[in-house]
A and B are shown apart, each in its own frame.
Chain A
């Protein structure tokens, strides 16, 4: 393991975090709030990052394990340093709470420990949403786009940060790909800001909510989330954009380059859209005694399904009060999540599709034991290796969910609270059911549970392996 290089890259990335903190500091100044928490945090980050950047002269050996290791380390450190402004402000409770909140931001989860959000300083709330926006696309993709001079193939880094079952490279050069992805990301975000502004939000709310949607995060500056606006227009805009951000971004690239037909042929996209449509219809039907008229049922069902499936976690109603069928469906959608190559989390539709098809193949092989059959995605064969990876991913996900649920169970909350808290964190959704439901928050958990759940969020965001590499003894060996 080439630790010096790993630390040096981490240092560079922290510089970007320091630079990113300048923006909320500006917002704080704009609203006449104290910039001190941000200033202190920036200075601390710079001091920590400067050591490896200026004093380490590493060799340039950089391979997959270094890539995975770097990504894992960077995400942990991003949370640790990003929590500083919250902590210095003194309004967010203990450092662990701040860490949880920041990790929840960067991993685009949107789970919060705050009991009352309204009234907190604007600068801090802006930073909270801004972490969503930064984390959504991946901090390393950003680094690769801005700093192609790291002197190593940034390929390993990007691959480790957004592994997904689908190829993510749009153009031959990785840094070029990153720029294109960020361009699409930025353009969609700006579009949403404008739409929300037109629909009646003020600029500050438009920008923070657009950033939360773009990263599929879910932090809102309102206690009752989007529901507090009680505006169908805003709900529709956010519903549409949540779905837009949960689609593989390469589809937009294909559309922009005039290959719309190829883009719409994607199996994963179709599966995703059908799943959303069926879920909305089923939940709307299930809510028929809950709301007045079909329109209202569909409006609430569509918003909540989009919010959960995109792993954003906004809410327009307290769905914890909904019938059990709707809640079960939402929990399952929490598990499945968005499309690969989007900013959403969860197991990803592409993987689910591969799992369904490989299961179908297993059944078929009982009837035709000697048949050679191939699992396909978008008409192209999926290699046996990729199928194994998807299966393994699913199993590891289950093991981790149950393992962590046991630890969180020490807090002695109900079964629903405990299990959905873990699932919602590992899928980067945000709200679960009961105590951690849309009206609740995570403040009641113990320090241990908060750390475990933070860990779950990073695991989910990085799709397990980069974090699991940190726990592998062979990764720490020098040879």
Chain B
């Protein structure tokens, strides 16, 4: 596909990288020559200097032949306008990044009025993810499939867990009967799909797919029945915090937020009557002690500096806060944080890139099977996808044990009607099923891609 990306910032360049890797022809439009220079050195993309709201620039970038335009400049208004103009020029699909809190209630009308296909809000996505983590404090990460019927939850194996040092085959007696499946294990830099002979070790990050109640029972079995989170301590009052406060207020969670800028404190206080806004430096341990940080159920670090977030998260973890979540845009910090005990790291950039990639892939295979969801799991090294089985899917009614799947592919869960099925050797795929597939590498676009020996 031909894709134009307006704006070569953090999200723009991440997207360009992923899309170029997947074989699309990408053109980046940016006003800064330096940015373009750097990008053209790093990536296999075309770069064009110019203002993306100009019709001429868009035409020069090949708007007439483009399938998708993604506007990810720093300004919401430019993004909206750019998509609108692209729509008028004739680009069939447009995606705009809109992060302003002012627009949050009007996103649907904006979309319809300006002819934009999709609006993405990285901060809102991240906030949603964090609120989900706070709702289910057991899990380090949670993704949901099939309208919430299936959850994919990851956690770290700890010293003393009954899983540690055992093969899956040995465990089967204990967890058999629970509607869930261990579907990916991340060990150090490696990710593998476990089979009966796989051995689980302390420090492994395991992803489990199953029904929400099954997952809960599993955690009970693990002895990690965490109590409900009633109050959260948040550092940093940026946009993510803004959206998070909205979501947590709806859940009835008490929030305490520390922000450095007094003006912003006031602004937030005006918006959120139920939150306690504290003006001060969130990295100052004295302030955290004074405000009884250690007594809160959850701690969320959302300052704009990744380093600060990680360090204060570690501090909170050491102080004994049961659930700690840190925001980090940089992928390589995540592993460090995890090894030190901060399991939940949320990245708005990655979440956004995931959303857009899913959208593009959905466009690509709209003729074949429909991909309903895509999440990058295990630190982005594996993907979990939800497909709808269509008549075009091959090997229907063939028991799974007779199927030859490609290396690193797992059919984790099948949702048939209202029933959630954990597949066994004798299970077959049927038309209308929702199938959740775990793949170690990216690039699965269609359900048929999971079978071995079929060319892509």
Q: Which residues of A contact B (CB under 8 A)?
A: 368-374, 376, 379, 381
Which single member of A370, A372, A373 contacts B287 (CB below 8 Å)? A370
Q: A113 to nearest B CB, angstroms?
A: 50
Which single member of A372, A374, A376 contacts B278 (CB below 8 Å)? A372
Assess whether B453 is interfacial by the CB under 8 Å rule.
no
Could you say which of B263-271, B382-390, B401-409 contacts chain A? B263-271
Interface residues of B in 264-297 (CB under 8 A from A): 265-266, 268-270, 273, 276-280, 287, 290-291
Q: How many A-B residue pairs have CB under 8 A?
A: 33
The reply to whether A372 and B273 contact each other, CB–CB distance below 8 Å, is no
Which single member of A369, A370, A372, A376 contacts B266 (CB below 8 Å)? A372
The reply to whether A372 and B291 contact each other, CB–CB distance below 8 Å, is no
Residues of A with C-beta under 8 A to B265? 372
Counting chain B CB atoms within 10 Å of each CB, the highest count among A369, A370, A372, A381 belongs to: A372
Contacts A/B (CB < 8 Å), 16 sampled:
A368-B276, A368-B278, A370-B278, A370-B279, A371-B276, A371-B278, A371-B279, A372-B262, A372-B268, A372-B269, A372-B277, A372-B279, A373-B276, A373-B277, A374-B266, A381-B270
Give bound CA distance, A374 to B274, whole Å: 10
Residues of B with C-beta under 8 A to A368? 276, 278, 291
Give bound CA distance, A270 to B49, whole Å: 60
Which single member of A370, A373, A376 contacts B280 (CB below 8 Å)? A370
Give bound CA distance, A270 to B269, whole Å: 23
Q: B286 to nearest A CB, angstroms?
A: 11
Give bound CA distance, A376 to B277, whole Å: 15
Q: B125 to nearest A CB, angstroms?
A: 28
Residues of B with C-beta under 8 A to A379? 273
Q: Which residue of A lies closest to B259 (CB)?
A: A372
Q: Which residue of A lies closest to B262 (CB)?
A: A372
Residues of A with C-beta under 8 A to B278? 368, 370-372
Give bound CA distance, A50 to B251, whole Å: 69
The reply to whether B273 and A376 contact each other, CB–CB distance below 8 Å, is yes
Residues of B with C-beta under 8 A to A370? 278-280, 287, 290-291
Residues of A with C-beta under 8 A to B273? 374, 376, 379
Residues of A with C-beta under 8 A to B266? 372, 374
Q: A166 to nearest B CB, angstroms?
A: 18
Q: Which residue of A lies closest to B273 (CB)?
A: A376
Give bound CA distance, A101 to B279, whole Å: 55
Residues of B with C-beta under 8 A to A376? 273
Give bound CA distance, A291 to B291, whole Å: 56
Interface code B5-45, partner A: CB below 8 Å = 1, 0 otherwise?
00000000000000000000000000000000000000000
Residues of A with C-beta under 8 A to B280? 370
Nearest 9 pairs between A and B by C-beta?
A: A372-B265, A381-B270, A372-B277, A374-B269, A370-B280, A372-B279, A370-B278, A372-B269, A371-B278
Interface code B333-353, partner A: CB below 8 Å = 1, 0 otherwise?
000000000000000000000
Residues of A with C-beta under 8 A to B277? 371-373
Give bound CA distance, A335 to B372, whole Å: 66
Give bound CA distance, A372 to B279, whole Å: 6
Give bound CA distance, A370 to B287, whole Å: 9
